[in-house]
Structure 1
Amino acid sequence: MPVQMPAPELVAEGAVQVLALLQGDPEFDAFRAASLEYSDDWQCFTGFPVVSEWKLEDDAEPLFEEGLRAISLKAAVFALTNDDRAAEVAIAVPVDEMTHAMLAQTQLLHRIASRYGITVIHQTDQEHTDYTSDSYTADCYRAAWGTPPPRYWLDHDEVVRRREHLGGLYESIGMGRSGREHAITFEAVA
């Protein structure tokens, strides 16, 4: 039986509280720094690159803020429903990608969330990246913080269009399936 989703205003109230708790934690600065530390190991071909004229140095900070808001919305829905699936509200692809960077800081995020009884929700096989500007998520976001920044909160159809364009560009340089395979043979090291 589907869970009755809480009113966006209730979710917004909870999300604003969750965000304030996260940001006020003594380990928040370390969490932010770790989440924004992008080494050469962090590569994504279909998440961040769907942002027009994406540049890590310019986009990381504002996208970090959007990732925090997404985590806060999910936590608020969970607090109101106690349902993992209901809490997996639709998130835009670039924002979801940033939440992955945040979730990779497992010990910091767990300690921060645990101090306040916050349940951080994310399970890849249950996540929804089919966000639209007229969705439940958008209604909750607007009630909490105003209009979601369209640079990062891209509608699903636009993400699909941009991924197809990127896929064609990747194919032109020998990267198949948007970076999931290639036929490049590297020279053996002697």
Structure 2
Amino acid sequence: MSNTTTLPASEVVAGRAVEILAAIEADPEFPAFEAATLQYSEDWQCFTGFPTIERWNLDADKGPLLREGLRALALKAAVYELTGGDEKAAEVSLAVPVDEMTHAMIAQPQLLARIAARVGVQIIHQTDQEHTDYTTGDYTHAAYTAAWGEPPTRYWLTRTEVDRRLGILAIKYTSIGMGRSGREHSITFAAA
């Protein structure tokens, strides 16, 4: 986050985020945005995002994760607005699986841009500035809790827990020839 901007009170961010989310969901193009985002699921092949969810199941988890991703983007949009447009401050901490879902949403740029324009908000996400170091009790947790109650721990995994799970996944991936958690492999595809 920005070192120069004082973040608004989490309760203020929460109130504005609730309004933003309601406006996004009420937009006439929201059903198309939702359908396009969930259809993107065929391309969700990240080995270090969604698989950190215990017993991950695309069909069962994509709907709830969409809701969490929308809440995350609403929080970020609220911080951006309430800080007078500070993009760095708006990059509040997210849980890795939730951040992964925001990528699926941002992959619908035309729909998302039109919805955001009609709602009058700026959707913030820049990979080199994102923070996936979410932890219980941090600013994001406080704002989320004030807006919607306790975040579901199935998706809102702390960074410590994500790192622990990534260690387990790395061992399993390596055992089948997948190096660097899916960033390389030693599998050959020679004809049998």
Aligned position for 1:28: 30
Three-state SS of the structure 2 residue aligned to 1:36 is helix
Aligned position for 1:155: 158
Q: Residue 40 of structure 1: CA displacement?
A: 3.9
Q: Residue 185 of structure 1: CA displacement?
A: 1.9
Query: Which amino acid in the other structure matches residue 144 of structure 2?
Result: Y
Query: Which amino acid in the other structure matches residue 76 of structure 1?
Result: A
Three-state SS of the structure 2 residue aligned to 1:130 is coil
1:138 aligns with 2:108: no
Q: Residue 117 of structure 1: CA displacement?
A: 1.4
1:90 aligns with 2:93: yes
Aligned position for 1:52: 54
Matches of residues 64-79 of structure 1 in structure 2 within 5 Å? 64-79=66-81
Three-state SS of the structure 2 residue aligned to 1:118 is coil
Tell me the TM-score normalised to structure 2 length. 0.96
Q: 1:127 aligns with which of 127, 130, 140?
A: 130
Aligned position for 1:186: 189
* Residues 28-80 of structure 1, C-alpha deviations (whole Å, 9 max, x = no match): 00000011114543311000000000101101000100000000000000000
Aligned position for 2:65: 63
Query: Which amino acid in the other structure matches residue 28 of structure 1?
Result: F
Measure the CA separation in 1 of the matches of 2:167 and 2:24.
Answer: 36
Q: Structure 2 unaligned runs (5+)?
A: none
Aligned position for 1:108: 111
Measure the CA separation in 2 of the matches of 1:116 and 1:150.
Answer: 29
* Residues 58-113 of structure 1, C-alpha deviations (whole Å, 9 max, x = no match): 01000100000000000000000110000000000000000000000000000000
Report if the CA contact (8 A) 2:136-2:158 is conserved: yes
- Give the fraction of aligned pairs with identical amino acids, expressed as a percent: 63
Measure the CA separation in 2 of the matches of 1:15 and 1:70.
Answer: 9
Report if the CA contact (8 A) 2:50-2:56 is conserved: yes
Measure the CA separation in 1 of the matches of 2:64 and 2:188.
Answer: 38
Q: Residue 9 of structure 1: CA displacement?
A: 0.7
Q: CA RMSD in A?
A: 1.2
Q: Structure 1 unaligned runs (5+)?
A: none
Number of residue-to-residue matches in the alignment? 189
Q: Residue 128 of structure 1: CA displacement?
A: 0.1
Measure the CA separation in 1 of the matches of 2:130 and 2:20.
Answer: 20
Aligned position for 1:7: 9
Tell me the TM-score normalised to structure 1 length. 0.97
